[in-house]
Structure 1
């Protein structure tokens, strides 16, 4: 009798794994699950009408080398491994991509210690790095100005939206679009039931939360306190009217206190050059310009003590980013440090993205990928850039944690 009861519970589910979020991390997880254990039934719930509508589809498309990230961190390990895997995946499925290499350029001698620290970090992460003087910078990028630089050969570009679409198809998962999660019920002995906005209920053995900009809310819906909140930062881009001024990818030396890389120049797979992004607080989790204001999102940020502590700690940096958002002249001045020939007329507004930045209660910015588990649940709580690059290794790690419950 006891055996029959367990069997009833086994058939009373729609799938083995329920994945919330149809961005590149959620779809990589579905792909990894069906590769690790063929026959695993996976359902992906995505509230939009297609994949990759937010962070995945609204970035500069860079396949990062891993040079920026602390040795031994998940970001460092997964980006280095993931970059090579992403190039291979794109080649296998005919997705537009290129391994271009990139320059990181110091425009002031005060930046040299940070540049040299990046060289050391790159070598510790096993990344080939070449140090450059001004003449060597010009050999790579004739219009770029700097006192010193480094060349990172393993950086590239691809179409991450196309990658996500291919992952959805290759995974064999059932992807349900227009399925916004509104309620989650979870029991250790019976799995997880998720109700969507249209009243449908989907039942699975395990839940995976890859909800990106809404991952903290989904964690709380599932009954888990994530210990962080998403504070959205908008990154605004321009397109360069004269793309011939840039041959590949050009970055400034980043400030190690922040997870943002500064305004950079990116030649995409289609040949245009994107300039940006900056990093300003967004007034909505999907607030792609200043006109989009969602009171619930603003109230959620203001109610989180960590947001106020972060603001007090970094207000000078934030003021500079805000100025570059509101003033095209200020944004152009930041670009001119790398590319002196650029004027305001050379920049035309392009689409923006929003970074789902996890902020701790003490105001700390989570600087690594953050994965946390619960009973029959895995939550991906911080996976902004370089999550696209690292998505295949992240997906495998999430799948490894999930399969113990299946």
Structure 2
């Protein structure tokens, strides 16, 4: 049985950042990262909009607000240092109704509290910024950017290996045992032991915590984020990220237009309850995942409280014209022929037994383990400071 000073479960961007920061703090330490998929960044890290968020949405004082603000700067600095392309293209949050204008004012106030550069645009200024976007006004966040987080994750993996650590893929964890001597982690093909363990399990975070005997009050509920992409004939349709004003009563930000670092423009995501935590094709079903959700009272409470949203999202998923209607609120020139297939993502949403959606990061500790139970957006943006934070926790 191999012995390591530190083991990290999960080679998404947060787990890789944690291992990287452990080696920065202790260059002589032995560190291994175990990943169930066949490559790093296989799940949430590799299936998102690629946005470097500014942090305007997040409750002042929350971990989200703290880590996102630091992560926006750190991500850009890391990319510049390692030759990874990114673009500070900016973002517009567009109001299309008087009610959204009022909510936009509250967002601007939150931006000021969180120290985020933000300017209000009139209808005329909005048209000048983005001729294909229609609205009553907008907030302009010039520091928001785009990047391919898979490239960031791969570079972190390379740095870990170069520093003497190991990143092992195809190692799905099947057992975790903590005792006074350390922690044993069994995978489908081997067992390793370590002095300290960090679990960044993403879509499997709750199962891994239960496997390790950690008492938890949350379960991961997967939500499919379904995307489209615009055809090449729509290249340059927008130059900035275009978001609707979010409804504070709803848990997701809504359908948005996102230029990507490789020159495409994506449309989405929707937010449909997923029937498989790791099933990306449409209509994927994992009986084990479905059975677990069906037995969880928190999911039924969420469903009862969000019937209208659920019906809307299912309709948007099944009928392209309904999805298009969400886009045309601020981009009326789009047509159904503009919505081309694009791979979906799956968001790991932690839900408490009472039906409360957990919006902030949730971290649980034992004597020798640190478990990240909820790592929601903007986790990719915030991954570098989160990794430093987790490394500090497991070392103390």
- Short-chain TM bin: over 0.9
The aligned residue for residue 55 of structure 2 is 66
Instruction: Quote the offset at 1:331 in angstroms.
Output: 0.4
2:89–2:239 contact (8 Å) kept in structure 1: no
Instruction: Describe the SS at the equivalent of 1:286.
Output: coil
| Distance of 2:243 and 2:201 partners within structure 1 | 29
| Distance of 1:37 and 1:136 partners within structure 2 | 51
Instruction: Describe the SS at the equivalent of 1:381.
Output: strand
| Distance of 2:311 and 2:7 partners within structure 1 | 41
1:271-350 counterparts in 2 under 5 A? 271-350=263-342
Q: Is 2:183 the partner of 1:192?
A: yes
Instruction: Describe the SS at the equivalent of 1:269.
Output: coil
Instruction: Describe the SS at the equivalent of 2:350.
Output: strand
1:216–1:229 contact (8 Å) kept in structure 2: yes
Q: Is 2:134 the partner of 1:145?
A: yes
Q: Is 2:111 the partner of 1:122?
A: yes
The aligned residue for residue 220 of structure 2 is 230
1:231–1:301 contact (8 Å) kept in structure 2: yes
| Distance of 2:176 and 2:86 partners within structure 1 | 38
| Distance of 2:22 and 2:279 partners within structure 1 | 32
1:42-90 C-alpha deviation (Å, 9 max, x unpaired): 1100011110010000001000000000000000010011001000101
Q: Is 2:241 the partner of 1:249?
A: yes
| Distance of 1:382 and 1:259 partners within structure 2 | 14
1:355-376 C-alpha deviation (Å, 9 max, x unpaired): 0000011101001111111121
The TM-score with structure 1 as length reference comes to: 0.95
1:55–1:384 contact (8 Å) kept in structure 2: no
Q: Is 2:150 the partner of 1:155?
A: no
The aligned residue for residue 45 of structure 2 is 56
2:96–2:137 contact (8 Å) kept in structure 1: yes
The aligned residue for residue 133 of structure 1 is 122
Q: Is 2:349 the partner of 1:377?
A: no
The TM-score with structure 2 as length reference comes to: 0.97
Instruction: Quote the offset at 1:13 in angstroms.
Output: 5.7
User: Please, what is the CA RMSD of the aligned residues?
Assistant: 1.0
| Distance of 1:86 and 1:110 partners within structure 2 | 34
Instruction: Quote the offset at 1:291 in angstroms.
Output: 2.8
| Distance of 1:258 and 1:400 partners within structure 2 | 34
Count of aligned residue pairs for this structure pair: 391
| Distance of 1:39 and 1:389 partners within structure 2 | 28
| Distance of 1:321 and 1:140 partners within structure 2 | 30
1:209-246 C-alpha deviation (Å, 9 max, x unpaired): 10100010000111102210000000001001213211
Q: Is 2:172 the partner of 1:180?
A: yes
The aligned residue for residue 384 of structure 2 is 392
Query: 1:84 pairs with 58, 66, 73, which one?
Result: 73
Q: Is 2:18 the partner of 1:18?
A: no
1:233–1:357 contact (8 Å) kept in structure 2: yes
Could you list the structure 1 runs, at least 4 aligned residues long, displaced by more than 6 angstroms after superposition. none
The aligned residue for residue 209 of structure 1 is 199
Instruction: Quote the offset at 1:259 in angstroms.
Output: 3.5
Instruction: Describe the SS at the equivalent of 2:84.
Output: coil
Instruction: Describe the SS at the equivalent of 2:46.
Output: coil
2:359–2:376 contact (8 Å) kept in structure 1: no
**Are the structure 2 counterparts of residues 177 and 13 from structure 1 closer, same or farther at C-alpha, using a change threshold of 3 Å?**
closer
Instruction: Describe the SS at the equivalent of 1:245.
Output: coil
The aligned residue for residue 82 of structure 2 is 93
1:141-198 C-alpha deviation (Å, 9 max, x unpaired): 11100001100011000010000011111123201111010011110x2100111112
Q: Is 2:30 the partner of 1:41?
A: yes
| Distance of 1:304 and 1:115 partners within structure 2 | 36
2:95–2:245 contact (8 Å) kept in structure 1: yes
1:234–1:287 contact (8 Å) kept in structure 2: no
| Distance of 2:24 and 2:61 partners within structure 1 | 26
2:34–2:169 contact (8 Å) kept in structure 1: yes
